[in-house]
Each structure stands twice: as structure tokens, then as C-alpha cells.
Structure 1
Amino acid sequence: MKLVDKVHIMEVGPRDGFQSERKWIPTETKIEIVNALSRTGVPTIQVTSFTHPKAIPQLADAEEMMRGIDIVEGVSYRALTPNMRGLQRALAFKDRLDGVSVMLSVTESHNRANGNRSIADTFAEIEAMAPVAQEAGFIVSGSVICAFGCPFEGEVPLSQLERVAERYLALGITHMSLADTIGVANPLQIYRVASHMRANYPAVTWTLHLHNTRDMALANVLAGMQAGIDRFDGGVAGLGGCPYAPGASGNIATEDLVNMLQEMGIETGVDLDKVLAIARRHEAFIDHPLDSALLRAGKRSDLKPAPQAQQKVAVLEAGG
């Protein structure tokens, strides 16, 4: 089995994870989590979204977040900017942010539900935003939402993904994320789509953004790596979800992702124990179960030999 040797993880929990929480998370707690994540070896953190407070009340403190976090050398900090107003707010922090993400659903129905406008209108705004962000020195990433399935339109043909990729490329956007927004993808689909997009758009740096709604996210990571993808998003403690997909769970838990890769000998540069400790801290302020296998079961290295095995080792060591 041919796989990549090293994986780049972007931690999206502080944005994509927290935004789904109804109970207010204190700003100081969010800052504490980001500061802790900055010291785990995670290379990139999506800190927040500069969206309208009425749309996502949980992220109404975006400015406070950006002013309050520590900027740690070697860590890249990103933010989601869903519109021009959001980008203008982000520009005030161009000395602290390295990049911004723009977003577009590949189906008309989801784009209207998610952003209250048509795909054409969304692209018109992105066309205005891209040069402003690039002039400010931001890395601009384009999210391809519902790339593997839509809650309203079902299967998504590759031609729709191609149209979005080509329009992003025309704007000089060469970092793109294929999002399994509602967690419907299967490993074979991930392999086929990722292989196709990599082959047809080699100038693009591709990321997979996977949700674990149907317990296939880790298998989908493996399929993505087989297709040559080496960049994945993760959300510590498995927070997140999609408001337009009933029962949808959150992002693949960063600790589960790092654990699997570490067990397979694939480098991430991330300290698993530190990430797991941060996931446990979420239990103090999140009022519902967390979708993290490692929180439930612990690491493989936590397992101890059975009593009989321990006795046998003791005898051998004694020369018996």
C-alpha cells in the first residue's frame, strides 16, 4: 500500500468546532484552547470566522480572539472570511493572520441555505475579495463545500467540482479544500474524487475536510492518502457538525487522526499527549458527549499486560 510519509494537519476546532455550540464558550476559554494548541506541534490553526454575530453568535468575539491569542513561531494562523465585510475585519489582523478562507457550496440549494445567496452571487463577491486578500499578503484558500454529497441535491457530479476549481484557479487561488460537509463520503469515493482532482489540477494544494457522521472519517483519511493527499483538517474533541444535515456529527477528532497516523508510522510533528490533554479539557465546558474515540478508550500504549503475562516476564527476568 503506497501512502504519504508526512501529513500536514490544520486544526479547525476553534472555528468549525466551536461555531456549532449553542452554549456560550467564554472568550478566555477559547483563547486558552488556541494557545494550548499552538504548543502541540500542529502547524496551522483556524482560529475563528469573521462572520456576522447574528449568523453565528458563538464567534461574535472574533476580534477579541485575534487580539488575545499568543502568536507562536512556526504556527500559521488562519480565519474564515465568508464575505467582503469579514475580509475587511480580518485585514486589521494581517500582522497576526497568515491566511483566510473563502467558501462556496457546490450545489445551488446548499449555497442558498448556507449563505443565503446564489452561487453566482457568492462567486462575484469572491472575485472582489481575492485580490484584496492577496494584496494584503494572505494565503487564500477556497473551500469546496458539499464536495461529496449534498443534503438537498444528493450526489454531486465531478463536473460541479471542476467548475468551482477552475473559477478559483482563475482568481489565483491555488489552495483548495474538498469538504465532506455532511459526512456521507465513503473511502472508494474519496479515492476516486481526490485522485481525479489531483490529476486534473496539479497546481492546486489539496486538503480534505472530513466529518465523522457515519464513522468513516478515518477510513476516508486512509483513502485520501492512497490518492496522494497529505493535508487534512481536524477538530480537537471531534466538535462540529452541519445545521442542514440532521444528526451530523463533527470534524474528525484531531487526537484520533494523530493517533492513527502515529500508529502507522506517518509523521505529523504533533504531540499526541498534548492534543489529548486539550481534548479532555473540553469536557469541562462542552455540555454534550464528545465524538472522540481516544477520549473513550485511551491510547494503545495505555494498555497493560495481563497479570499472567506480567508473572511470566518476572520469572524470565529472574532466570527461572
Structure 2
Amino acid sequence: MSNNKFKLVECSRDAMQGLHDFVPTELKAQYINLLLQVGFDTLDFGSFVSPKAIPQMADTTEVVANLDLNHTSTKLLAIVANLRGVEAAVQHEQINCLGFPFSISETFQQRNTNSSISASLDTVERMLSLCDQNHKTAVVYLSMGFGNPYGDLWNYEIVEQWTETLVSKGVKVLSIADTVGISTPEKISEILPKLISYHPGIEIGIHLHATPADRLKKIEAAYHSGVKRIDAALKGFGGCPMAADDLTGNIATEEVISFLTAKGENLNLNMEKWHEAMVLSTKIFG
């Protein structure tokens, strides 16, 4: 990458989307407004997907209308799963980035977006075009990037093949996503340095899921692999409903902050606002 600044992506959407009780729009917006003041590079805040699939995110449009973006440099990212979602998301001037989960497991692509890998590749191409037209950044998540629980074929060559394909289509930001906590420090250390060295002009990040016991080892492996873009969620909330272990959630943002700070990285975060968000999070997550 061209600069050495770490880009932390706070995944409040990923953390909230699986909650059983609906979080009131006003509380969502209050929480996100606090996170916007912390100084993260990007905030994954909502999604434009079927409310039947993700009821918790049905109010994303209303949340956007309640955000204060006057005093933040943080970019807003919304997840989309099909062309209808892309077309809805690009209408919002406040949204900077659109994220699409592109699975290299055919089984998971069908489960997650109700479409095939080949159809999803078409969606990615349309998203890239619409993002260009509307001055947005497309972020593609290479989902099941470290393996899958379905028995679908996985190896490093498949990861590299799909990375090459997506880059050739014009993807500039690619996040290798664990999805179900199947990654290991060894896999991270094998895969990420190669992808980063093979694609020097592409921003390659990592979206890991982990149990509390193995979070730090995965963060350390990612750091030493040369990753500069790391997704995380406050207190490690969230995770994939398909994960076999109930403890498997997102990488905890506070652990990433602590690790990178100990390494001497200047994250330029407002820790007072971060602690306020930590306190407010108890109203959402309990």
C-alpha cells in the first residue's frame, strides 16, 4: 500500500444485525454518531438488504437521516447483497462506500445472497459501475476466504484466483473475510503476505471472526502479514449465525487498538468518545 496509516473499520452493523430485539432507530443513530467521533477510517453502519432477511437493518435509511456528519472524517459503509440494494445505497450522498459479500463457497453465496457465485460476479460488476457513476468506493469481501464448513473446495490457489478475477474487474478494496472463525494464524500468515505482494496497488484488508481465546493471535498474524486495513467490532460483538461456536464473534476493536498502540502505531483516535461509545453499547447489547 502507498501509505503506512492503519485503516480501522468499525463494524457496528455486523455487531447489531443478529440481535433478536429491534434496536430503536434513535438509539442506533446515537450510538453511530458517537462512533463517528472516534476517528475510525470507515464505519460499517447499516445495510440495504431485505428486511425479511435482516430485520434489524430495516431502518438504515432512517438512521442515515439522523447522522451528524459535519465533524467527522470517517467514511460510511453500507452492505448490499444484490443490485436492488446497490441502487438504493448509491442514492444516499452521505454513504461513501458499498460493501458486497462475495463468497468463494458456492453454498454460502446461495445462503447469504440467494444467488450463485457467477450471478454475484455480475452484481459486483454492476456495483463497480454504479459506484463510479455516483462517486462511491466499492469494497468487496472475499467471504469464506479461509475455508468453509460445507465441504466446498478451498485452497490458497482458489483464493488467489478469485482475488485476481475481482481485481481484473476493477475492485480496488478487497477484504479477506473469515466468516465463521475458521482462520488460523498460520493460514493468515500464508495467505495475506502473498496477496499483498502480488497486488501492490490494491487495498487488501482482513475481516476476522474469532473466539476470545484466539483473537490476539489472529490480530498479531494479520499485523505481521502487512495488513493495513482491519475490520473489528466493539467488544467483539456480532458474528456469523452459521458459526459453530457461540463464542465466535468479531475481532474486538479495543484489542486491535491496544495491540497497535503497543506496536507504536499512531491511530489518532478520540479515546474519550470511544469510552462513551463503550458505555452506551450496554443499552444495545446488554
Interval containing the TM-score (normalised by the shorter chain)? over 0.9
Cα deviations by residue, 1:258-278 (Å, 9 ceiling, x for unpaired): 122223322211233432331
1:242 is matched with which residue?
240
Aligned pair count reads 282
Counterpart of 1:232 in structure 2: which amino acid? I
SS of residue paired to 2:27: helix
* Conserved 8 A contact 1:183-1:214: no
- 1:215 corresponds, among 213, 220, 231, to 213
Matched, 1:12 2:11: yes
Describe how 1:153-164 pairs up with structure 2 within 5 A. 153=151, 156-164=154-162
Rounded Cα–Cα distance in structure 1 between residues aligned with 2:241 and 2:274: 27
Q: Tell me the TM-score normalised to structure 1 length.
A: 0.83
CA pair 273-188 structure 1, distance change in 2 beyond 3 A? farther
Deviates most, 237-246 or 19-28: 237-246
Give the equivalent residue in structure 2 for 1:266: 265
Deviation at 1:18, TM superposition (A): 0.7
Which residue does 2:106 correspond to in 1? 108
Deviation digits for residues 168-198 of structure 1 (CA, Å, limit 9, x no counterpart): 1122111000011111212121111001111
Larger radius of gyration: 1
| Whole-angstrom CA distance in 2 between matches of 1:275 and 1:151 | 35
Deviations 1:122-177 (A, max 9, x none): 11222222211211111111110011121212772112212221221122111000
- In the alignment, is the contact (CA less than 8 A) between 1:258 and 1:272 conserved in 2? no
Counterpart of 1:135 in structure 2 is 133
Alignment of 1:72-151 (within 5 A): 72-93=71-92, 95-151=93-149
Q: C-alpha distance in 2, partners of 1:73/1:203?
A: 27
Give the match for residue 190 of structure 2.
192
Amino acid at match of 2:173: H
**Structure 2 unaligned runs (5+)?**
none
> Does structure 2 retain, via aligned residues, the 8 Å contact 1:99–1:141?
yes
* SS of equivalent residue, structure 1 residue 162: helix
Shift of 1:29: 0.8
% identical equivalent positions: 27
**Corresponding residue for residue 34 of structure 1:** 32
Secondary structure of the 1:285 match is helix
Amino acid at match of 1:20: G
Please report how far the alpha carbon of residue 63 of structure 1 lies from its aligned counterpart in structure 2 after TM superposition: 0.4
| CA shift in 2, pair 1:203/1:104, >3 Å | same
1:45 alignment counterpart: 43
For normalisation by structure 2, the TM-score amounts to: 0.92
The CA distance in 1 between the partners of 2:113 and 2:97, in whole Å, is 21
Measure how far apart 1:84 and its partner are: 0.9
Change (3 A) 1:155 1:226: farther
The Cα RMSD (Å) is 1.8
- 1:283 corresponds to: 282
CA distance in 2 between counterparts of 1:212 and 1:277 reads 25
Higher RCO (CA 8 Å, separation ≥ 6 residues): 2
- Paired with 2:85 and 2:28, the residues of 1 have a C-alpha distance of 20
Structure 1 residue 6, shift from structure 2 partner:
4.2
CA distance in 2: counterparts of 1:166 and 1:259, whole angstroms: 33
